[in-house]
Amino acid sequence: MLKNKHKYFVLKPKRTSMNNEFNHITVLKKETIQNIFPSEKLLNLLKTNKTYKLNIVDATLGGGGHAEYLIHLFVNDPIFNNFELNFIGFDQDINALNFTEKKFKDVQLKYKNIHLHFENENFKNLAQIWQTKFPGEKIHGLYADFGVSSPQLDIGKRGFSLIHDGPIDMRMNPNDNLTAKNILEEYSELELTRIFFEYGEEPKSRKLAKAIVQDRKIEKIPLHSTIQLAEYIKRVLAYPNSRVHPATRAFQALRIEVNKELESINYLLQEIPELIHTHGKVGFISFHSLEDRLIKHAMRNWQKGKKAHEKQNEKKEFNIPLHLQLHLEENHNKGFGKEIPRGGITASDEECQMNNRSRSARLRCFEFSRETGG
């Protein structure tokens, strides 16, 4: 087994145009990795079983900031000298995946005990891919950053931005068919009301949906750029003295609908108990209340010893849209583990000053301590 001789590990990717497109500041980097890293109890168990391999999953690879810190800890802590790291990173954005794969190109050459795998997939397919590639194995640590990356927000041509002009697109995976423009042109008034209300928590969702449908008939819609759309929404909603752009909530709703973001999170959370090792850990970063409610709801039920089931008659909780709730059955008298720490972790004042987008981030972690089968 290769010994780690280097005191410090820092990736220095070559300057390329792709680097410029992924000038992304990772949120809650140290807090996330330190809280999902294997516990001493798990490491001792693996040593006892003579299984010197750690399976770690990054469900939202992005620019690889979390992964870089993970590898840094792995190669510099002597406790892992006899272990192999089996790392798999998922991202549905092929631009992000290509950038990070290139960034880590030299890692496997330099460290023979690190094995990197990259998947151009939505994390909703994570369980299926994991079980196909690593049948019978469990994951020891898994994390996901559910936010939109800075490059996606700041590059106008991706169509996410209120201030950088571009097409009304909003696809994280450019190969997907549905765009925000399709939604504005094709969804009914009822469907538009639903997504603006549920995914944007927009108080004037009915007013906005009605205006869009009426203006489609007189050809004021379609619009052709994000700036046009932002100004249109601002004019329709007519919020006086708004501290944020009046179109912010509607843009969020469109983005969530285009990428089926909450459905994907829901799929992942349902699969987690079956994927994670008895003493494994998971961590999820959310950026708005809809994401956080789903995560909190799932962890509270894991703590009670519940997991996903096919029942469809559970009552609505935590203001989560009914079609997104985890439907659960009782499996144990005791829970599967506990949230660590309860209530989650937010960015420090120092990080918020360095990166304004970290202000809305919340990290929730969960440590499993018993089997979920039975």
Q: Is 72 flagged in the annotation as binding?
A: no
Distance, CA of 312 to CA of 205 (rounded, Å): 27
Q: Is 164 annotated as a binding residue?
A: no
**Taken in order 106, 109, 111, 115, is the CA torsion positive or negative?**
positive
SS3 72: helix
303 vs 135: CA distance, rounded Å: 26
Q: Is 374 annotated as a binding residue?
A: no
Q: How many CB atoms lie within 10 A of CB 256?
A: 21
136 is in an annotated binding site: no
Q: Is 349 labelled as part of a ligand binding site?
A: no
The answer to whether 65 is a known ligand-binding residue is yes
Known binding residue 66? Answer is yes
Long-range pairs, 169-176, Cβ under 8 A, ≥24: 170/251, 170/254, 170/255, 170/258, 170/259, 171/258, 171/259, 172/92, 172/93, 172/148, 172/259, 173/92, 173/93, 173/94, 173/122, 173/259, 174/93, 174/94, 175/94, 176/258, 176/259
Geometric angle at alpha carbon 287, from 281 and 288, rounded to 5° = 115
Structure tokens at 157: 């041509």
In the annotated binding site for S-adenosyl-L-methionine, the residues are 64-66, 91, 123, 145, 152
In the annotated binding site, the residues are 64-66, 91, 123, 145, 152
